[in-house]
Structure 1
């Protein structure tokens, strides 16, 4: 076997492999043996048909083609090892031609993982980011949500309005055939919540107790094979109940939380909402930084690498959707995307993902960032804790699967990202520096806030209470 390597483009190599007639003859014997297992020849057991008979039955060209397919994987593997090439994608065979002497010459394109020697400057780079202000209106909405958890329901003698609760019996039918799983009896439903069947809210507005309303509806997409199907809804309203919210007083705050006054509750909400806004801004800031640096990175990605990354992304999405009982075609319909636009967006995202990965690896190289054994062991211990496994057992499993290097690469890229984020500067639209760091975790006030927020979150699980009947 003879090999020759030439450059075919940025991070691509053209590997020419010549297989001699002797190598093909040996491959023909193996190929004939495999083909004989599929043939039924009188007087011979499957897999025991002589090569000459196999060749006569399938044809010389077919056997030669099968022999080339048989010989190529090992030949390509040996050539890659001899030339010290590590493909980032599956090697692509672009041409097979006969040569003098009865052998063949095969052209194989090898795509290598991209690397960079220089990265865009990031130390001192200013990137604009917005922190959404916490308004009094937003705080009031949070308080109203809390009030809603402690609201009571009271029967009213009027037509239902948005925000009311109604007790209904509901059925859905198609051409008069009732769909059993789409109905409900004694369903307490909040009008305007859009939480059940599309069309139900519009149907219930203006309907009073002991009245029946009928109209069109659409089953939700998650409703099995019938998701998205148009139906005829029939709702019988048994009762209309208004929601009475408690008055916001110091006494009410003391009853539903660990705070003493309304001002303390508002202060806690403002603090936590500011921290949430800051956390959102931090994530947005990181995304903008990486997008800016990736755009400034001088890098031509091989198309085969982009296609492979996009295909992997689409495959993973399809698998996740399948676990939820949703097909990819249904997903495209739900999201209003054409297949062409979806594939184009996937490739755009693939380019961004690949450039980000190469950028982080480039930063690690330029900044001499390394990963030591202790960091790998710490990461394994954290993974073991999440999986409720013994760390030593998980380490051995990752080592045997060859995944320790992948874990180490993940740690390296994380450290590179930390180096980038420590060097860039967040500014507002006026050019003023913004502090995006979270409030100190050891602050007494902050600990009180966290504790009380947890208390409120646990209280928020309560359902709306109904007023006792007189």
Structure 2
């Protein structure tokens, strides 16, 4: 039998605050317990609703993209891969992380990351082309008013100035393309038949 000598330097006790009216007011600024419970419940409900909307959008995009036939244009794939990489490195920089640290944290190799990026780019391109096909089928267009509203609703100091600059630089087709795809996605979702299935715990 083995024996070990163990030295205990400190014993910590977890203190759980008592949930009272004063605690709700002073700690979180609620009017009271009822107000706290009500707002937390509303926040959870809103989060679930947003999550459901995003999930529905993703499922519709996946289903629509799976119906697309033919090869994906190489130029579009390369452009999307570049866009994804730029966004990815921007996020890494904002978090103060290096690429090597990210790979270590995710326990993947650089080659695996590259393949994942290629796959994600292919999915995006496939879904975009499927939305374009849907828009053509239903003759969806982006009007000048749609384009103007897109700039007006953006968080810009001078929307009209930016719109004029984009017009001079010939970049408005990108805005029209984005608007048409967004409208096509809304139409796809509106026509989709969605069945919600409750998650059940698997038997052990």
TM-score (norm 1): 0.36
Quick check: 1:161 aligned with 2:12? yes
Q: Is the 8 A contact 2:56 2:189 kept in 1?
A: no
Quick check: 1:257 aligned with 2:30? yes
Q: Specify which of 368, 375, 387 is matched with residue 156 of structure 2.
A: 387
**Residues in 1 aligned to 2:162 and 2:65: alpha-carbon distance in whole angstroms:** 35
What SS is found at the alignment partner of 1:334? Answer: helix
Alignment correspondent of 1:351: 122
Alignment correspondent of 2:173: 405
**Matching of residues 217-256 of structure 1 within 5 Å:** 243=15, 245-249=17-21, 253=24, 256=29
Q: Are residues 308 and 379 of structure 1, via their aligned partners in 2, closer, same or farther at CA, if it must alter by over 3 Å?
A: closer
RMSD across aligned positions (CA)? 2.7
* Residues 176-207 of structure 1: per-residue CA shift (max 9 Å, x gap): xxxxxxxxxxxxxxxxxxxxxxxxxxxxxxxx
What SS is found at the alignment partner of 1:427? Answer: coil
Alignment correspondent of 1:420: 188
Quick check: 1:334 aligned with 2:105? yes
Alignment correspondent of 1:363: 134
**Matching of residues 109-124 of structure 1 within 5 Å:** none
Q: Are residues 286 and 319 of structure 1, via their aligned partners in 2, closer, same or farther at CA, if it must alter by over 3 Å?
A: closer
Equivalences, count: 188
Kindly indicate which of the two structures has a greater share of residues assigned to strand. 1
Kindly indicate which of the two structures has a greater share of residues assigned to helix. 2
Greater relative contact order (Cα 8 A, min sep 6): structure 1 or 2?
A: 2
**Residues in 2 aligned to 1:312 and 1:263: alpha-carbon distance in whole angstroms:** 47
Alignment correspondent of 1:270: 41
What SS is found at the alignment partner of 1:344? Answer: helix
**Residues in 1 aligned to 2:48 and 2:136: alpha-carbon distance in whole angstroms:** 34
Larger radius of gyration: 1
Unaligned 5+ segments in structure 2 are 1-8, 199-204
After TM superposition, give the deviation of residue 298 of structure 1 in Å. 1.9
After TM superposition, give the deviation of residue 405 of structure 1 in Å. 1.6
